[in-house]
Structure 1
Amino acid sequence: MNRQILCIDRHYIYPLVLGLAIVFSGTAMASKSSGNSHAVHWGYEGDAGPAYWGKLSSDTVLCGSGKRQSPIDIRNKTAADLYSMTFNYNTLPMQVVNNGHTIQVNYHTTANEGSVSIGGKSYPVKGVPEYLSKLMVGDVPYKLLQFHFHTPSEHARKGERYAMEAHFVHVNASGNLAVVGVFMKRGAHNPLFQKVLDNVSAEINHESVAGGTKINASDLLPGDRTLNHYTGSLTTPPCSENVNWFVMDTPVEVSDEQVRRFARIIGKNARPLQPRNWRNIYQSN
């Protein structure tokens, strides 16, 4: 079990009010489980691409009209009154799926009262037992549900977009989302990412369970845990807002061949940068 402590300003943690019927693909999307979610066809090219997401259905209008959209360019950051943020992830058997929009590694949990629906799966949110992989924001636990990838990176840092970006999706007992973004730059071979590539199925929505392959999500985090926090949105339809974003300042490395292999499976799956508008970005010390 790995524990790393960072700091985040308690005043800037924005609650995500759930109550939408949301279909997930790629980036964190959550709703109260209702069984009446419907699929909206979207993608990254043509008339189903990002420029048209806001017109796909009444559920996706924020993709075109929202003022707190993600991703954004991370620059002109502000120091803030910070408090602790702790990563505490367990080592688990590999459970990976190609959902047609990304490659996603699921961190399954035990059943409990209450749930959110993400990627067609129901995840418990009432209570976060000590043994679960989680992100502590102050004294509030956020359960790690899954992590997935985009190429190129969705966020930029001072105008630079990296080869890839990993998103770690967390939810707390109230259903509020916290997503950690990690830039991935071209460089050395990445052992954890290789495990993901070696175990994913070409079949859409078929979850591969590699019991003999263990992973720990913290192995994909950089050693320098300086991060940037802002209030944004889901980066895929329906682009719901008030998502707590924490984007790491330091990238990890991934080989050029690994980037190409991901792209052969998924293709390019990054939303264009969105206007920052009036939002502040707060950086940890």
Structure 2
Amino acid sequence: MQQLISDSIIMIAFNFNIIFPSEPLLRDDVYNPALETIVIEQIDENTQPAAFPERSGWMDMSARKGRYFAQSKFALATGAGSQWALEIAQVLTLYWSIGSHTLHYQPEAQFTPERLRFWVCHTLLPLKFALEKRYEMLHVGAVEVAGRPIFFSAESFGGKSTLTDYFIQQGHALYSDDSLAIFQQHDTFYTVASYPFHRPYREPEVLGYPVENVARQSKPIYAGYVLEAVAADAVVSITTLEGIEKFKAFHFSGFIDLGFFKAHHFQLRAELAKAIPVYKVTIPWQIERLGEVYAKIVAHN
């Protein structure tokens, strides 16, 4: 393991050491021996994957086409299989087994190490943890305010990444760029920090800039904020959501669009709506007013 560490890119993501071997060292002080370790390895003649006769249709994924592979129609329909693969057209195919701490990839013509890290952190690990029922995944930005995790939810290009970036720049610890891992204990949902990168402008296949101030402690989610874009000269306001409107607030938070997750996600949103206060924040569509939005949310907490 020590040789593997010394020759590898390492990051802590989703409360695991994630090791990408045979690449220049990213940092030499990241590895945490108290955490479990997941290793990403290229397929060779000794690690050929099993056959995958069943596959989904092509789906849009971060400016690429992607599809999933499973060993049976039942697995593909229910998520019950133990062997999976994810193909990203022209870039790579990723292979993994449920519960395994070694993941394999087969590079294609447009493969780069940067794209490997993006697809592993942004898509593969959230999917793996969801299938293993280790974590639930929310498609939200999340930071810490006054020692408590809060999250931002919005439609695509609704401003959550820009707002998350603003909080980071003001010194708040990052929990999630856009894939927040959570787990439930009794009636309380706890956060798990995702990968230590942020991309405020959502460039495809880019993890973004490295963030030093990343939350490492799992804490109960304190509140959620749904962002609503309004006119540039409108008032910044925060209102409490209740009932069906509160449930709808989690509509944008689904992360993995596979059919067998839909019923579970419906139940999850109902439980989240019962457990977590949710508020609507009006966001004047003018970047110069982002400081007002920030101040309003901080004061509200």
Same fold (TM over 0.5): no
Q: Which entry has the higher C-alpha Rg, 1 or 2? A: 2
TM norm structure 2: 0.25
Q: Which has the higher helix share?
A: 2
